Copies of this chain bind each other. A is one copy, B any other.
Amino acid sequence: MADAGPGDAGPGAGPGAARTRRGRPRDAEVDRRILAAAGETIAAHGYAGLSVDAVAERAGVAKTTLYRRWPTKARLVADLVSRMQDEVPLTETGDVVGDLTRLTAGIAGSLTAAGAPLVADLTASMAHDPDFGETMRARWAQWRRAAVELLGRAAERGVLSPGFDPEVVVDQLAGPLYYRLLFTGDPLTAEYAAALVDAALGAHLRPEGPTSHAR
């Protein structure tokens, strides 16, 4: 299975084993410079204006060096995006509605920050490169599991009535965000995030919980 970051590293990364790889080690600084350059170039000239040559030049790096890490422009972008995604928080305070709203709004924010072109390219890379797709899906699955378990614990505490499918709920929180970003183009506001949570949980919230969540 391929990892998401600068790849092709070959053997190693094995746990425990202090494998000193032979040859000149890769310059970690270079990775950073390239990703930064890519981000800046996108910010400056938009996604369409993103050429590998430009990124390499801006990073002060040879194109070859870039291609040694990412086999494709698409993969570079995918990596860039996935790093942004990792910053979404998943806190658990006991207030289900609050937690989920925070989470949903967090996703919304990071999606907005990344921008549709990047996310779209990410999906394309995942669809075309099975290895990469697997890697990314695994990452998401992890996140998903956490969210599902959060809902499960809430149900156990009696905050939510039983008989609902937590996976469907999660999908109905995250799905619309991606849908809007990629297909309708509507803005992903905090209000929208709240509305999603409201609609997804409304039927299952016990009286003691507030039906409407103002934010």
Interface residues of A (CB under 8 A from B): 46-48, 115-117, 119-121, 123-124, 126-129, 133, 136-137, 140-141, 144, 164-165, 168-169, 171-172, 174-180, 182-185, 192, 195-196, 199-200, 202-203
A41 vs B135: C-alpha distance when bound (angstroms): 27
A199: contacting residue among B48, B126, B180, B200, CB under 8 A: B200
Known: A121-B127, A178-B178. 11 other contacts (CB 8 A): A46-B128, A119-B123, A123-B182, A133-B185, A140-B184, A168-B195, A172-B175, A174-B179, A175-B176, A175-B178, A179-B179
6 A-B pairs with the lowest CB-CB distances in the bound complex, closest first: A203-B203, A175-B175, A175-B179, A175-B176, A171-B176, A120-B127
11 contacts between A and B (CB under 8 A): A116-B126, A117-B124, A123-B123, A124-B124, A126-B182, A171-B176, A174-B179, A175-B175, A175-B177, A199-B200, A199-B203
A133 CB contacts on chain B under 8 angstroms: 116, 185
Taking the closest CB of chain B, its distance from the CB of A190, in whole angstroms, is: 14
- Is the Cβ of A168 less than 8 Å from the Cβ of B175? no
- Is the Cβ of A184 less than 8 Å from the Cβ of B124? no
Most B Cβ at <10 Å: residue of A115, A124, A137, A184: A124
A165 CB contacts on chain B under 8 angstroms: 195, 199
Taking the closest CB of chain B, its distance from the CB of A171, in whole angstroms, is: 4
- Is the Cβ of B168 less than 8 Å from the Cβ of A178? no
Using CB atoms, name the residue of chain B closest to A212.
B163
A196 CB contacts on chain B under 8 angstroms: 168, 171-172
A168 CB contacts on chain B under 8 angstroms: 176, 192, 195-196, 199
A121 CB contacts on chain B under 8 angstroms: 124, 127-128
Using CB atoms, name the residue of chain B closest to A183.
B140
A126 vs B183: C-alpha distance when bound (angstroms): 8
Taking the closest CB of chain B, its distance from the CB of A179, in whole angstroms, is: 4
Using CB atoms, name the residue of chain B closest to A169.
B199
